[in-house]
Amino acid sequence: MTEPSPVPEITPAEARARQSAGARLIDVREPFEWATGQAEGALGVPRGALEAAPAEAVPDPDAEVLLICQSGRRSQLAAQALREAGYRRVASVAGGTARWIADGLPVTRAPDADFHERYSRHLRLPEVGEAGQRRLQRACVAIVGAGGLGSPAAFYLAAAGVGVLRLADDDTVERSNLQRQILHTDARVGMAKVASAEATLRALNPQVAVETVRERITSANVEALIADADVVVDGADNFPVRYLLNDACVKLGKPLVYGAVHRFEGQTSVFDAGRHRGSCPCYRCLFPEPPPPEAAPNCAEAGVLGVLPGVIGLLQATETIKLILGIGEPLAGRVLHFDALAMRFRETRLRPDPDCALCAPGRPFPGYLDYAAFCAGG
C-alpha cells in the first residue's frame, strides 16, 4: 500500500503570490482568532467546518487551495483531510498567520481586535466564549473597599473585562498598606485609595470604566452605590459596613460576595438571599449579632499575613465572574475557610435562617440601623 505523500508547505510570500494568481487562501482558525489579524483576502472557515463540508468552501476539487492557521500545525492537518477527501492541489502555509504578519504581508483586522486579542483565552472556553465575554463587558460590579481584599478582586475583575468597576473607599494610601494592597505603590502614599486604584486599573485595562466614590459608605448613600450593580463585592474591614451592605443587598436583590481575613485565616461566601428568599442565606444568617470588638480585632490591631488577602480577594473575583456568567456552582449556602499555615481549605454549609430578622420569607425590610451602635453592642 502506497503511503500518501506529505502535504507541501509553502512560505507566506509564495502563498501571497499564488493567491494573487487565483489560488484560494482559507484561514482555518476559529472566528475569535481571525479578529486579531487575518491574511488579506483569506476566507475564514474553521477547521472543523472545513473538514466536515469541504465542498461548501471549495466546490471544485481541482481548485488550488492554500490553508493557513496561526502557526502551521492545524493547517497541515486540515490539508491532509482535504487530500483524503479528493482535493489534489492543497498546500499549507508554513509558520501560519504569525509568520505572515512577521514577514510584513498585508493583513486585515476587525474593528474590535483589542477585544479578541485581550480576551483570547476566555474566548477559547466554551463556558465563556464571545457571548460570555460580552456579558462581562456589559456588567457593573460595585466594590466596597480598595484595600487588602478590594485590591486583588478589582485587579482580576479589570483583567477579566468587567465593563464597569465602581470603587468606594474614603481612605488614603499608607506605607503599611503596600505589603498587601496591590493596587497601590510607594509613590502614591498619601493619595486617595480610589484614585490610586483607578490609575492602576486603567493602566492594566483601558477598556474598563472605573468609577470612584471617595466616601464612607452609609445608609444614606449605599443604595445609590449598588442600585445598578450586577454583583457587590464586600472588601470592607469592619462589621458596620458588612451588615449595611448585606441589608442593602437583600433589600435591592443583589448578590453579595463576602470576604474576610484575620491573621493567617480567611473566609469567603456568596450571600444571595435578596434574589432567593428562603433558599439562600444572608450575612445575618451567619452572624445574627456581631461578635464583641475584642473578639474580632481588625488587621491593624491583630496583624495579617500579607498574601492572605490576595488569596481571599482572588476567590471573591472568581465568584463574581461566575455569578455574572451564570456558570458553575456559586458559594451561596457555603462558607469557604482557608488556613494559610496549614495550606488547607474547608467548607461549612450554611442554611438560611427561617427566623432571620432580615431575609426570612415574607418579612418586610426592617429599615437601616445605626450600624456602629449595633456592632458596639449599643
Quick check: 24 and 62 in contact, CB under 8 A?
no
Quick check: 94 and 79 in contact, CB under 8 A?
no
What is the maximal distance between C-alpha atoms in the chain? Answer: 91
Quick check: 27 and 42 in contact, CB under 8 A?
yes
Question: What sign does the CA torsion over 25, 28, 34, 38 have?
Answer: negative
Q: What is the dihedral of CA 234, 238, 239, 244, to 10 degrees?
A: -50
Cell numbers placing 113: 481586535
How far is Cα 156 from Cα 145, in angstroms, rounded to an integer?
15
Residue-level pLDDT at 295: 58
pLDDT tens for residues 74-100? 999 999 999 999 999 999 999 999 999
Residue-level pLDDT at 294: 60
3-state secondary structure the chain: CCCCCCCCEECHHHHHHHHHCCCEEEECCCHHHHCCCEECCCEECCHHHHHHCHHHHCCCCCCCEEEECCCCHHHHHHHHHHHHCCCCCEEEECCHHHHHHHCCCCEECCCCHHHHHHCHHHHCCCCCHHHHHHHHHHCEEEEECCCCCHHHHHHHHHHHCCCEEEEECCCECCHHHCCCCCCCCHHHCCCEHHHHHHHHHHHHCCCCEEEEECCCCCCCCHHHHHCCCCEEEECCCCHHHHHHHHHHHHHHCCCEEEEEEEECEEEEEEECCCCCCCCCCCHHHHCCCCCCHHHCCCHHHHCECCCHHHHHHHHHHHHHHHHHHCCCCCCECEEEEEECCCCEEEEEECCCCCCCCCCCCCCCCCCCCCHHHHHCCC
How far is Cα 83 from Cα 5, in angstroms, rounded to an integer?
10
Residue-level pLDDT at 300: 67
Angle value at C-alpha 218, between 216 and 222, nearest 5 degrees: 100
> Considering only CA atoms, which of 238, 290, 231 is closest in space to residue 257?
231
- Per the document, the length of the chain is 378
Residue-level pLDDT at 117: 87
Residue-level pLDDT at 199: 97
Task: Enumerate residues 6+ apart whose C-beta is below 8 A from 324.
Answer: 135, 136, 139, 141, 162, 230, 231
Residue-level pLDDT at 85: 94
> Considering only CA atoms, which of 188, 195, 249 is closest in space to residue 222?
249
How far is Cα 156 from Cα 144, in angstroms, rounded to an integer?
15
- Which one-letter amino acid corresponds to residue 324? I
Residue-level pLDDT at 293: 62
pLDDT in tens, the chain (378 residues): 445 568 999 999 999 999 999 999 999 999 888 888 899 999 999 999 999 999 999 999 999 999 999 999 999 999 999 999 999 999 999 999 999 999 999 999 877 888 988 999 999 999 999 999 999 999 999 999 999 999 999 999 999 999 999 999 999 999 999 999 999 999 999 999 999 999 999 999 999 999 999 999 999 999 999 999 999 999 998 999 999 999 999 999 999 999 999 999 999 999 999 999 999 999 999 999 887 666 556 666 678 999 999 999 999 999 999 999 999 999 999 999 999 999 999 999 999 999 999 999 999 999 999 998 888 875
Residue-level pLDDT at 1: 42
How far is Cα 41 from Cα 371, in angstroms, rounded to an integer?
65
Q: pTM higher than 0.75, yes or no?
A: yes
Q: Does domain 9-112 have CATH number 1.10.20.10?
A: no
How far is Cα 218 from Cα 240, in angstroms, rounded to an integer?
9
Q: Does domain 122-360+369-375 have CATH number 3.40.50.720?
A: yes
Q: In the block, which residue shows the cell 481548485? A: 63
Residue-level pLDDT at 35: 82
Residue-level pLDDT at 342: 98
Q: In the block, which residue shows the cell 426592617? A: 366
The domain segmentation of the chain, as residue ranges, is 9-112, 122-360+369-375
Task: Enumerate residues 6+ apart whose C-beta is below 8 A from 116.
Answer: 32, 33, 35, 36, 110, 123
Residue-level pLDDT at 146: 96
